[in-house]
Amino acid sequence: MDRRGFTLIEVLVALSVMSMIAVSIWAATSQTTRTRQVVEESHDKHHQVRVAFDMLTRDLSSAFLSLNRAQLEPTHDTVFIGEDHGEEDRVDFAAFTHERRYFDVKESDQCEVGYFLAPDKENPEQTNLVRRESTVLDVEPLEGGQLLVLIEDVTVFDLQYFDMVMNEWQDAWDTTEVTGQASVLPMQVRIRLVTRDRRGGDLAYATQVPIPMRTPILKEGYTPGPPLVVTH
């Protein structure tokens, strides 16, 4: 009876071929997984920027000033303060963009909004773009409210404001100063943002947002009270 089998060399050759096939499959699968991670992270970053720009556009388009204050004891003030800090700017203003999420809550569509860069809680060397919203208009228009991280690892948040009277872009805008800016909002706001991708490269974005309600709201026959002094 013939009991021929595989020789040791044949077994080694078969194992070598199977090993090469397994390595090839692993390499292809690993590369596919890495590519998928890169695509997903890139998509997530673009989604963060798109959502942030949508919120910026919505807030800035609804920015407003109001001269309707209590004459004796003002309880609130509406401002538009865009501070120039090089590539880490900040802007705070009043807007009609608050959404009431609970029934019969004592809130309106008015709110204080701010955008600025803040250090990450887990990684202090990283800065994130943050949105601040306060549902109460008070005597501290630059403070209070809740913070929401919009974009992680942002290196540049640069804002410019178009002055229609001067017909030029300004690096800062402050309606609390005794200048031509005190009575109006900028015609447009130009936004430039730079964030890092997973490999440390820079991703740059930019947009411009018009502001329709440039002049302050004032009820007919109303005598405005004294403006508040806002400390920066």
Question: Are the C-beta atoms of 50 and 112 separated by less than 8 Å?
Answer: no
pLDDT at 157: 97
Q: Which residues of the chain have pLDDT under 50?
A: none
pLDDT at 181: 66
Predicted TM-score of the model (pTM)? 0.77
pLDDT at 6: 67
Query: First-to-last CA distance in the chain?
Result: 100
pLDDT at 226: 54
Question: Are the C-beta atoms of 207 and 189 separated by less than 8 Å?
Answer: no
List of residues 6+ apart from 64 with CB closer than 8 A: 78, 94, 95, 96, 185, 213, 216, 217
Listed by start position, the domains of the chain span 44-210
pLDDT at 71: 56
Question: Are the C-beta atoms of 111 and 62 separated by less than 8 Å?
Answer: no
Task: Please tell me what DSSP assigns to residue 198.
Answer: T
pLDDT at 30: 72
